[in-house]
């Protein structure tokens, strides 16, 4: 059996006295689209940020494509791999944030080619065809020379997706990619993510869009209080949630 793309085991994370993640364990298979749902403050975004080292964990283990990012060390501690390995492993993952995080002083094209040039050391001429291909993919080739200030929120988020894909990750992480958008702009971003799902891109999507989670996700994880309460195939979870907390949450959301 192939090792999972992501293997998280007994992950704990504190911010001061608050335990935000309380023993989260989760495996994500190749080509799987996993939607993570749950109330605000349940640890969804923190878990996503721990997977690619934007936050450090206090205890537990995270493996990415069979390689250990962080593992147990001593009784209640953990140890990350050396920095060079850490950066290499984290490059297997692309991340898209709520608020786009585009460089305002760079054009759309420059935003996309910046990381392949600076992080991978690729020459500009080598990355331009890929950048144009990605802009065509997200429907924004005509905005190639525009600055972010001239784009709508939905367009900015699609540029952010193209920018993450420019690093050719094996896994995409989306942290509530539509929460900062007006409702009429949400659809164009979700359509882009849906197309990635059809291409069998491995994805974790923290989302409040229940219809999207039900239609696109292969599996849905419900988190509450820093724990995974329920994790099941999307159609099963939405049709008949097993846990009372999941049922109560979905009744409020649907």
Q: Given a cut of 70, is residue 1 above it in pLDDT?
A: no
Q: Given a cut of 80, is residue 2 above it in pLDDT?
A: no
Sorted by sequence, the CB contacts under 8 Å of residue 222 that are 6+ apart come out as 37, 38, 228, 229, 230, 231, 237, 241, 243, 245, 246, 249
The HSE-up count of residue 249 (CA atoms within 13 Å, CB side) is 25
Reported as a single tens digit per residue, the pLDDT across 105-158 is 999 999 999 999 999 999 999 999 999 999 999 999 999 999 999 999 999 999
Q: Average pLDDT for residues 199-220, to the nearest whole number?
A: 95
**Per-residue confidence (pLDDT) for residue 169, from 0 to 100:** 97
**What is the band of 16 on the pLDDT scale with cuts at 50, 70, 90?**
very high
Reported as a single tens digit per residue, the pLDDT across 232-246 is 999 999 999 999 999
Phi, psi of 130 (to 5 degrees): -65, -40
**Per-residue confidence (pLDDT) for residue 100, from 0 to 100:** 87
Contact of 146 with 197, CB cutoff 8 Å: no
Q: Average pLDDT for residues 174-202, to the nearest whole number?
A: 91
Q: Average pLDDT for residues 183-194, to the nearest whole number?
A: 89
Closest by alpha carbon to 49, among 16, 101, 96? 96
Instruction: Give 206's strand partners.
Output: 36, 175
């Amino acid at each position: 059996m192939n090792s999972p793309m992501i293997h998280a085991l007994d992950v704990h994370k504190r911010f001061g006295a608050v335990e935000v993640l309380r023993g989260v364990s989760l495996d994500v298979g190749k080509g799987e689209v996993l939607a993570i749902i749950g109330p605000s403050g349940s640890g969804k975004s923190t878990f996503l940020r721990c997977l690619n080292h934007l936050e450090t964990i206090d205890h537990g283990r995270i493996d990415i494509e069979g390689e250990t990012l962080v593992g147990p060390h001593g009784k209640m501690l953990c140890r990350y791999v050396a920095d060079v390995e850490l950066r290499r492993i984290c490059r297997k993952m692309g991340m898209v944030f709520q608020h786009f995080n585009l460089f305002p002083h760079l054009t759309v094209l420059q935003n996309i080619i910046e990381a392949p040039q600076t992080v991978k050391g690729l020459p500009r001429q080598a990355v331009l065809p890929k950048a144009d291909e990605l802009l065509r993919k997200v429907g924004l080739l005509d905005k190639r020379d525009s600055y972010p200030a001239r784009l709508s929120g939905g367009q900015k988020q699609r540029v952010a997706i193209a920018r993450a894909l420019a690093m050719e990750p094996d896994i995409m992480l989306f942290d509530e990619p539509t929460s900062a958008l007006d409702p009429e702009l949400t659809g164009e971003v979700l359509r882009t993510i849906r197309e990635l799902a059809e291409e069998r891109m491995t994805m974790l999507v923290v989302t409040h869009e229940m219809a999207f989670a039900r239609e696109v996700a292969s599996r849905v994880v419900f988190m509450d209080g820093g724990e995974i309460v329920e994790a099941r195939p999307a159609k099963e979870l939405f049709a008949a949630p097993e846990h009372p907390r999941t049922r109560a949450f979905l009744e409020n959301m649907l």
